[in-house]
A and B are shown apart, each in its own frame.
Chain A
Amino acid sequence: MTTTSTHTDVVQGTSTKRWRFPAHVAVFLGPALLIYTVFMVYPLLDSLRLSLFSDEGAFVGLSNFRELLPGGSLSSSFWNALGNNFIFFAFHFLVQNPVGLLLAVLLTSHLMKRGRGTYRTLIFSPTVLSVVIVGFIWQLILSPLWGVVSTPLLGLTSTALPTLSLMSVWQFVGIPMMFFYAVLVGIPPDLIEAARVDGASGWKIFWKIIFPLLLPMLGIISIITYIANLNAFDLIYSVQGALAGPEFSTDIMGTLFYRSFFGFQLQAGSTAMGATVATAMFIVILLGVLVYLFGWAKRVETYEL
C-alpha cells in the first residue's frame, strides 16, 4: 500500500514540475550543517587560503609550497616527516589488521567457550585511554632506568619509530577487531555449514567464504587508519616532544606542523608555513582517499547476505 502511494506522489511531482523542498529536512539538517560549517568547513577553507599568503598578509600564490619542494627551506624536514608518516601507517596496516582479524576470529571461534565479552572489553579498553597516558605508561615500561628492557628503544634512531608505531597499534587494535567481529558474527552459519557439507576445509572456508566478505570492511578500516595516521600528532608529541627525536627520526607531519605554526623555543611560529604544511597534509590525505575510492572501493565486490 505504502509503496504505491509514494510512487504516485513522485509521479505527480515530476509531472507537474512543482516539487517542493521538504521543510523538515532543513530542520533536521540545519543545526548540524551550521555547526559543521562554522567549526569545520570554514576553518579548513580558511587554512587553505592562509597557505597562499605570507605572514605579513600579502598574496604570494604557491610560493609557500616551493619551500616544501627540493631546495626549499622546509624540504628536508617535510619529506622526512612524510616518509615517517608512511612508515607509521605501514606498521598499522601490516600489524594492526592481521592482529585485529586474528583476535576477532578467536572471539567468534567455537574454541572460545566463555569470557567472550570480558576479552572483547579488555582488548578494546586501551582505545578509550588518553594517548598521553598510553605514552607515559609505555615510556616507563621501556625506560632503561626503571623499565623492563635495557635497550633504549625510544632513544635510537633505528628503533624509535617502530616502537612508537607498535605502541599505537597496541592502543588501537581494538577498533579493527570490533569491525571484523561485527562482520564475522553477521555471516549466516548456513553458508559455512553448506561449505562444510561440500567437504571444504577450515582453511578453504576462511579464504573462499569469510575473507571475501571481510574485504569491504578491510578497506574501510584501512582508510580510517590512513587518515588517523597521517594526522597523528599526540602520541609522538607526548612521548618524544615537539622535536620528535632522536634526530627527527620520529618527526611526522603533525609535529612538523606544530613547530611551523606555533614555533618552538626560539623558533618563531609562522601562520603561513603552518597553513602550508596543513594544506600539504590535506592534499596527501585526499590523494590517499581518492586512491581508496577509485582503486579499491569500486573494484572490491560487496555481497548481500
Chain B
Amino acid sequence: MKRTFKWMIALVAVLLIAAACSSDDSSDTTATTAAGGDETTTTVAAESGETVELVIESWRNDDLAIWEDTIIPAFEAENPNIKVTFAPTAPAEYNAVLGGRLEGGTAGDLITCRPFDASLDLFEAGQLADITDLPGMENFSSVAQSAWITDDGTQKFCVPMASVIHGFIYNADAFAEVGVEVPTTEDEFFAALDTIKADGSYDALAMGTADQWEAATMGFQNIGPNYWMGETGRIGLIEGTEKLTDQQYVDTYTTLAKWADYMPDGFEAIAYPDSQALFTLGGAAIYPAGSWEIGLFNEQADFAMGAFKPPVKAAGDTCYISDHTDIALGLNAASPNADAAKTFLSWVASPEFASMYANSLPGFFSLSNHEVTMDDPLAQEFLSWRGECESTIRNSYQILSRGEPNLENELWAVSATVINATATPEAGTAILQEGLEAWYPPQQSG
C-alpha cells in the first residue's frame, strides 16, 4: 500500500509536468487553427467571377467602426464588384497571429503593415508582394516610404497610410486657472511645471513608468529629436558616427529625469491607462502625448485642450518632431484576388482616402503628399508642426532593433529606470551603447 501511494505521487507529478510544459507549445497551434474560416469564402467568390471579396488583416481593432461605416462603403460605391471585409486582431497578438496565418495560407488579401523589420521580414519571406510599380505610389515622399522599403531602396511593399506625431497635450482650462502660458522653450516648460506644482490643484505631468514604454515613447522619443537633431542623429547612429553615450543622448535623459518631480506621487506604479484617466478626468495639466490619443481624449475630456510641440533649448532654435511612420497596407503575395486588391491599394494612395482616413481618425496623419485639411483643431495643431519643424522617426525602429539585445526594449527599460532615478543618465546611456555594440557592427569600430 505504501508503495502504491508513492507510485501514484510519482505518476501524478510526471503527468503534471508534462501537462504544464506542453501547454506552452499548444498555443501557437490554436492560433493557426483559429485563423481558418475566412479564406473559403474568398476563394469561392473569386471562382464565381462576379463579386470579389477582399479581407483586410489589421491590428487596429479600435477602428473597426470607421472602416465598416465610412471607408469601405466609400470604396464599394466606386467599385461595386469588390466587397471588402475589415478583420482586425488584438494589437498585442497581431504579429504572431498574422505570421501563423501567412504560414498556413489562411491570411487575408490585404495585410496592414507594421513599420520596418516586421514587414520587411514578411516581404523577404515572399509573403508580401512587390508593389513598387503600383499606380499611386508616386504620391508618397521618400521619408513616408522609408518604413516599407528594402534596405537598398529598390523595392516597395506597402502603401503608407498614416503616421503619428509626438508632442504635449495640455488642459487649457487648467492653464488659464493656474495662469501659465503655453511654453515654447525648455526653460518656459519647466517654469510652467513649477507654477502648476506650486499651485497644487493639478498634477503637473500625467505620466507613469509602470508600463515602461511611455517613458521611452512619450518621453525619450518625444523630446529627444530636439537634442540629436532629428534625422542627423538617427542616421548617425545607424552609420556608427554617433554613439548613444554622446552628450546629446545623456542630455535627453538628464532632462527626462527632471520630469520625475512633476509626475504624480507613486508614478513608478502608474500605468498607461491610469495616466490617460488622470488627464481626461481633469486631474493633471500636461500629458506627454502621441497624436493617437486625440480621438479618445476628445471623447472623454470635458475641458478645452490644446497642444504644444516639444520645447526647444533656446527661442529660435530649429525644432524637430517625431512624425513616426506607423501604418501601411500591403498585398498578400498568395492572394487569389491580387487585381482587386491592387485596385484597393491604389485607392488607398488617393487624395480621397487620405482625407477620409485622417479626418475619421484624428491623430493618424496621412503620409501622402496630398493637401489634407483636418476638421479637428487639436489634430490640426499637431499637423501644423510639419510645416514648422523638421520631421524624423523614432531612432530605434530602423535597423537598430534587429539584434539582441533589442534597442527598442532596452530603451523602454532604461528610460523608465532613469526617470525612477535608479540609474543616472550616464549609466543608462552606457547600458544602451553596450547593448548596441554587442551585435551591431557599425557601432563596434571605435
> Quick one: which of A249-305 are within 8 Å of B by CB?
257, 259, 261-269, 278, 281-282, 285-286, 289, 292-293, 297-298, 302, 304
Known: A40-B18, A73-B405. A266 touches B209 (CB 8 A): no
The verdict on B406 contacting chain A, using a C-beta distance below 8 Å, is yes
A44 touching B21 by the CB < 8 A rule?
Answer: yes
B6 — which chain A residues lie within 8 A by C-beta?
297-298, 302
B34 close to chain A: CB less than 8 A? no
Cβ of A247: which chain B residues have Cβ within 8 Å of it?
413, 416-417, 422
Of B55-63, B82-90, B266-274, B370-378, the one with at least 4 CB within 8 A of chain A: B266-274
CB contacts (< 8 Å) of B22 on chain A: these are 39-41, 43-44, 47
Q: At the interface with chain B, which of A5-13, A120-128, A148-156, A165-173?
A: A148-156
| Contact call B17/A224, Cβ cutoff below 8 A | no
Shortest Cβ gap from B113 to chain A (Å): 14
Instruction: Answer whether residue A192 sits at the interface, using C-beta atoms and an 8 A cutoff.
Output: no
**Contact yes or no, B412 A73, CB < 8 A:** no
Query: CB within 8 Å of B: which of A209-250?
Result: 216, 219-220, 223-224, 227-228, 231, 240-241, 243, 245-248
For residue B325, give the distance in angstroms from its CB to the closest CB of chain A.
14
B268 CB contact (under 8 Å) in A44, A152, A262, A289: A152
Q: A264-B409, A302-B2 are in contact. Are A145 and B16 (CB under 8 A)?
A: no
Q: Is A142 an interface residue (CB 8 A)?
A: yes
Contact B20 A228 (CB under 8 A): yes
- Which of A46, A152, A224, A293 has the largest number of chain B CB atoms within 10 A? A152
- Residue B51 CB within 8 A of the other chain: no
Question: Does A269 lie within 8 Å of B96, measured CB to CB?
Answer: yes
Contact of A151 among B266, B405, B412 (CB under 8 A): B266
Contact of A143 among B16, B274, B409 (CB under 8 A): B274
A109 at interface by CB-CB < 8 Å = no
CB contacts (< 8 Å) of A216 on chain B: these are: 5
Which among B265, B269, B422 is the interface contact of A142 at CB below 8 angstroms? B269
Interface centre among B1, B20, B24, B29 (most CB of A within 10 A): B24
**Contacting residues of chain B (391-446) with chain A, CB-CB under 8 angstroms:** 396-397, 401-402, 404-409, 412-413, 416-417, 420, 422, 438-439
Query: Once the chains bind, are B212 and A243 in contact (CB under 8 Å)?
Result: yes
Q: Does B25 sit within 8 A of A, measured CB to CB?
A: yes
Contact flag A43-B25 (CB < 8 Å), given A155-B270, A268-B117: yes
Q: Which residues of B contact A241 (CB under 8 A)?
A: 211-212
A145 pairs with B274, CB closer than 8 A = yes
Judge if A144 is at the interface, Cβ distance under 8 Å.
yes
Bound-state CA distance A21–B213 (Å) is 62
- The reply to whether B25 and A44 form a contact with Cβ atoms under 8 Å apart is yes
B23 — which chain A residues lie within 8 A by C-beta?
Answer: 231
Residues of A within 8 A of B14 (CB): 289
Of A153, A231, A245, A282, most B-chain CB atoms within 10 Å: A245
Q: Which of A263, A289, A297 contacts B95 (CB 8 A)?
A: A263
Judging by beta carbons under 8 Å apart, are B212 and A289 in contact? Answer: no
A269 proximity list for chain B (CB < 8 A): 95-96, 99
Q: Is A84 an interface residue (CB 8 A)?
A: no
Contact of B9 with A by CB under 8 A: yes
What A residues does B253 contact at CB under 8 A? none
Majority secondary structure of chain B interface residues (helix, strand, loop or mixed): helix
Q: If the complex has contacts A43-B25, A245-B210, A246-B268, are A220 and B409 also in contact, measured as CB distance less than 8 A?
A: no
Tell me whether B129 is interfacial, beta carbon within 8 Å.
no
* Contact across chains for A144 and B96 when beta carbons are under 8 A apart: no
Chain B nearest CB from A121 CB (Å) reads 26
Of A155, A240, A298, most B-chain CB atoms within 10 Å: A155
Query: Size range of the interface on A?
Result: 35 or more
Cβ-closest chain B residue relative to A224: B16
B412 and A266: CB pair below 8 A?
A: no
A63 within 8 A of B: no
Measured CA separation A228–B20 after assembly (Å):
8
Say yes or no: A47 contacts B409, CB within 8 Å: no
Chain B nearest CB from A133 CB (Å) reads 16
Q: Does B142 contact A (CB under 8 A)?
A: no
B21 touches A155 (CB 8 A): no
- B16 and A243 contacting across the interface, CB-CB below 8 Å: no
Closest chain A CB from B318 CB (angstroms): 28
Verify A266–B397 contact, CB threshold 8 A: yes
Given contacts A155-B210, A302-B2, contact A267 B408 (CB under 8 A): yes
Chain B contacts of A157 at CB under 8 A?
422
Residue of A nearest to B12 (CB): A220
A203 within 8 A of B: no
How far is A267 from B96 in the complex, measured between Cα atoms in Å? 12
B278, CB-defined interface residue at 8 Å:
yes
Q: Could you tell me if A143 and B269 are in contact, using CB atoms closer than 8 angstroms?
A: yes
Chain B residue numbers with a CB within 8 Å of A144 are: 264-267, 269-270
**Chain A contacts of B29 at CB under 8 A?**
43
Q: Are A281 and B21 in contact (CB under 8 A)?
A: yes
A146 close to chain B: CB less than 8 A: yes
Chain A residue, CB-CB nearest to B266: A144
Interchain CA distance A264-B411 in the complex, whole Å: 13
Say how far A134's CB is from chain B's closest CB, in angstroms: 16
Tell me, rounded to whole Å, the shortest Cβ–Cβ distance linking B352 to chain A. Answer: 33
- Among the listed A155, A223, A265, A268, which residue makes an inter-chain contact with B269, where contact means beta carbons less than 8 Å apart? A155
Q: Which residue of A lies closest to B278 (CB)?
A: A145
**B406 → chain A, closest Cβ, in Å?**
4
Contacts of A145 in B (CB 8 A): 264, 266, 270, 274, 278
Q: Is B168 an interface residue (CB 8 A)?
A: no
Taking the closest CB of chain B, its distance from the CB of A250, in whole angstroms, is 11
Give the distance in Å from the alpha carbon of A278 to the alpha carbon of B438 in the complex.
Answer: 25
Cβ of B26 < 8 Å from any Cβ of A?
A: yes
Q: Scan residues 116-148 of chain B and give those whose CB is less than 8 A from a CB of chain A.
A: 116-118, 121
Instruction: List 19 A-B residue pairs with CB atoms under 8 Å apart, sorted by A's residue number.
Output: A39-B22, A40-B18, A142-B269, A143-B269, A152-B210, A152-B268, A245-B211, A245-B212, A245-B413, A246-B417, A247-B413, A262-B95, A264-B409, A267-B409, A269-B95, A269-B96, A278-B21, A281-B24, A293-B9
Interface residues of B (CB under 8 A from A): 1-2, 5-6, 9-10, 12-14, 16-26, 29, 95-96, 99, 116-118, 121, 208-213, 264-271, 274, 278, 396-397, 401-402, 404-409, 412-413, 416-417, 420, 422, 438-439
Excluding A41-B18, A241-B212, A297-B10, 11 further A-B contacts by CB distance (< 8 Å) are A155-B209, A156-B268, A156-B269, A241-B211, A263-B95, A265-B213, A266-B407, A266-B408, A267-B409, A268-B118, A269-B95
In order of increasing CB-CB distance, the 10 nearest A-B pairs are: A144-B266, A155-B268, A155-B269, A152-B269, A266-B401, A152-B266, A43-B25, A152-B268, A44-B22, A267-B406
